[in-house]
Amino acid sequence: MSKVVTFGEIMLRLAAPGYLRFSQAKEFTATFGGGEANVAVSLANYGIPVDFITRLPENDIARSCVMDLKKHGVGTSAIVYGGERLGIYFLETGAVARASKVVYDRAHSSIADIKPGMVNWEKVFEGANWFHWTGITPALSQGAADACLEAIRAARKLGVTVSCDLNYRKNLWKYGKKASEVMPALVEGCDVVLGNEEDAEMVFGIKPEGFDVTATAGEVHAAEFQSVCAQLMKRFPAAKKVIITLRGSINANHNTWGGVLYDGKTLYESPRYDITHIVDRVGGGDSFMGGLIYGLLTYTGDDQKALNFAVAASCLKHTVYGDFNLVTVEEVEKLMSGDASGRVSR
């Protein structure tokens, strides 16, 4: 069976209850989450063997984090230990016209202080055929960027498929380098590239002509993004597939959701979902990536079905509290079949 390895930071998530603002909250709900860990949990839920690689401090909070990952079936044996702290992010959930807010407290986290050579990548990739990383990791520090590049090069040397989610986070690039300076060398080693309209523009200056995400009113047209896919593929010739997620934001509780996949010849377009009562959209892109990796590994040669699985899986994630997408293959395939009734399963 296929084995996937993901690499990145996992954090303690402290969320204000319900729709309270930070200034109103007297307590916070504690869970764990982070882009690559979220992908790992999705894959484990779907029955794919997966190992998550990170660097954690040796303390009780980190041990609780590892227990949570193990509970969801994620392999943790190759995690490296050291450093002083687990990163934290605070979440305030928006409503209607008020956007959600995230405040990071992750400076000098254990993984931010990682260096090349701390992870034995050849051993990590034994038995693996897929490696996934995101643009969040190289944004943390030069050391994290160097370790990520080290992992990508090791994966390519061993014939492991490499995927990335561009995941541009402007508030993270603080160590003197811009994403446009660091990311190209990493993306050059990728077979599968995922992003959205902001990622492609902010990192590589690539955008669809005449498109303004703030003026979509929930309508995002897939054909507008074929040029983005083609430009990314031209810039990074190793990429065999480029995927763009399509989110139309009507308000904080009501989004449209879909995606396109381009293989250099054909542009595949997913069904469009109208998500009218969002429970939690954090981790939505990660749930898409987890679904996409599952789909590409499982529905070999059927890119349309793989894309449809990814979009349906991430649609369901919007109904699940927390970073992790705790849904099953059966639930995703039920939605793919057109059953969005939400009727009680007895």
- Examine residue 341 and state whether it is found in any structural domain, yes or no: no
Residue 340 is predicted with a pLDDT of: 74
Return d(Cα 289, Cα 310) in angstroms, integer.
Answer: 7
Q: What is the CATH number of the domain that holds 163?
A: 3.40.1190.20
In a domain, 310, yes or no: yes
pLDDT of residue 198: 86
User: Are the C-beta atoms of residues 56 and 50 closer than 8 Å to each other?
Assistant: no
Q: What is the per-residue pLDDT across 149-172, written as a single tens digit (0 to 9) for each?
A: 999 999 999 999 999 999 999 889
Q: Is residue 346 part of a domain?
A: no
Cα pseudo-dihedral 315, 321, 326, 328, rounded to 10: -40
Q: Which domain, by its residues, includes 55?
A: 4-336
Contacts of 184 (CB under 8 A, 6+ apart): 204, 235, 236
Number of domains into which the chain is organized? 1
Residue ranges of alpha helices (H) inside the chain are 35-45, 60-71, 121-124, 136-140, 142-157, 179-187, 197-204, 226-235, 284-298, 303-317, 329-336
Is residue 345 in a domain?
no
Question: Identity (one letter) of the amino acid at 266?
Answer: T
Looking at the whole model, is its pTM more than 0.85?
Answer: yes
16 in Cβ contact with 92 (< 8 Å):
yes
Tokens of 8: 């990145």
Q: Which residue has the tokens 């959205």?
A: 196
Q: What is the pLDDT of residues 90-149, one digit of tens each?
A: 999 999 999 999 999 999 999 999 999 999 999 999 999 999 999 999 999 999 999 999
| Of the candidates 234, 140, 232, 240, the residue with the CA atom closest to the CA atom of residue 195 | 232
Higher pLDDT, 274 or 345: 274
Q: Is the pLDDT of residue 73 over 80?
A: yes
